[in-house]
Amino acid sequence: MSDLITAPHIPVLLDEVIEALRPAPGSVIIDATFGAGGYTRRLLDAGATVHAFDRDPDAIAAGQGWAETQANPPRLILHPRRFSEMVAAMAEAGVSQVDGLVMDIGVSSMQLDQPGRGFAFSTDGPLDMRMGQEGESAADFLNTAAEADIADVLFNYGEERQSRRVARAIVAARPLSTTGELAHVIRKSLGHRPGAPKDPATRSFQAIRIHVNAELEELEAGLAAAEHLLREGGRLAVVAFHSLEDRIVKQFLRDASGAAAGGSRHLPVVVDRTPASFADLSKAIRASEAELARNPRARSATLRAATRSASSPRFLPSGQRRAA
């Protein structure tokens, strides 16, 4: 087993995710965000067969030796693909429906801990941030995009209230090539003082990473894919780490369960007659004090779970709504 898989890594809300998925011997479950395999390990221990997805080739390479140790037929099948491609990938694997699906959204701790990946500003590294290690990098975007486009990304994905000021400073400092350079530009533009409780570069780094990896679009497509792949009674568990992600998950499940908020009392009531595709929505589940003591990263995590109903999917795999 590789160093990445055996290295200390604490999956967030592990017990709660396993309880939500209810794995059993012979069940087929998708781990849409394999990472270091924390959820997958527990699912395999419960006797499930796991189809694990990850766009990061490092994660797939690290899990390859582990997959080869599984029983014949194998109970761990690795898919080096985005989770937005799950429907096509599972069809190619000859699987039409699964019993459970878990998604742990956002950047992994392994990616953050590798300076060469360019996700963090705690150590200097190349300005990269690509989860799949291909396509446009953070440096490509910041060094070529219009100032207004950069400002929009910082505001929409990082909720940076001074996004225009930061974008102006970034454009003035181009070309940028390292995370240290970018963090310095952001801090200087916002008048950051060393020792302040929160580094102002955090919001902008989050925003740029989300944009480079199209994370919110991937999440929406992944949720639609889950609706297609889960059998009746199948369980969905999604862990999100910030409000933008959690808002998408919450709204998707509310819409899918028919529990969306009603319209204005001043307007006619619009009845959505689309059959509910999910039921038994959980409340937002957060880490216990005991887990927070073991793993401070869990502080911002929110788990939402639901059960698939018998109704047809509301969306095509591409995310387009079905015709009425």
Tell me which CATH code domain 133-212 carries. Answer: 1.10.150.170
Whole-angstrom Cα Rg for the chain = 21
Q: What is the pLDDT of residue 261?
A: 52
Residue 113 tokens, joined: 């801990």
Residue 21 tokens, joined: 């998925």
Measure the CA–CA gap between 196 and 203, rounded to whole angstroms.
15
Measure the CA–CA gap between 174 and 144, rounded to whole angstroms.
9
pLDDT in tens, the chain (324 residues): 343 444 446 789 999 999 999 999 999 999 999 998 999 999 999 999 999 999 998 889 988 877 777 667 789 999 999 999 999 999 999 999 999 999 999 776 666 666 567 677 778 899 999 998 889 999 999 999 999 999 999 999 999 999 999 999 999 999 999 999 999 999 999 987 776 778 889 999 999 999 999 999 999 999 999 999 999 999 999 999 989 999 999 999 999 998 765 544 544 544 456 789 999 999 999 999 999 999 888 899 999 999 999 998 987 665 455 544
pTM: 0.88
Between 215-229 and 243-257, two packed helices, what is the crossing angle to 10 degrees? 30
Burial of 318 (0-12, 13-18, 19+ CB in 10 A): exposed
Q: In CATH, what class is 3-108+215-308? A: alpha beta
Neighbours of 4 (CB within 10 A): 18
Q: What is the pLDDT of residue 245?
A: 95
Measure the CA–CA gap between 153 and 248, rounded to whole angstroms.
17
Phi/psi of residue 235, nearest 5 degrees: -110, 135
Yes or no: say if 93 and 76 are a contact pair by the CB < 8 Å rule.
no
- Reference 106, options 251, 246, 234, 313; nearest CA is 246
Q: What is the pLDDT of residue 321?
A: 53
Please report where in the chains the tokens 């019993």 appear, as a residue.
99
What is the residue extent of each domain of the chain?
3-108+215-308, 133-212
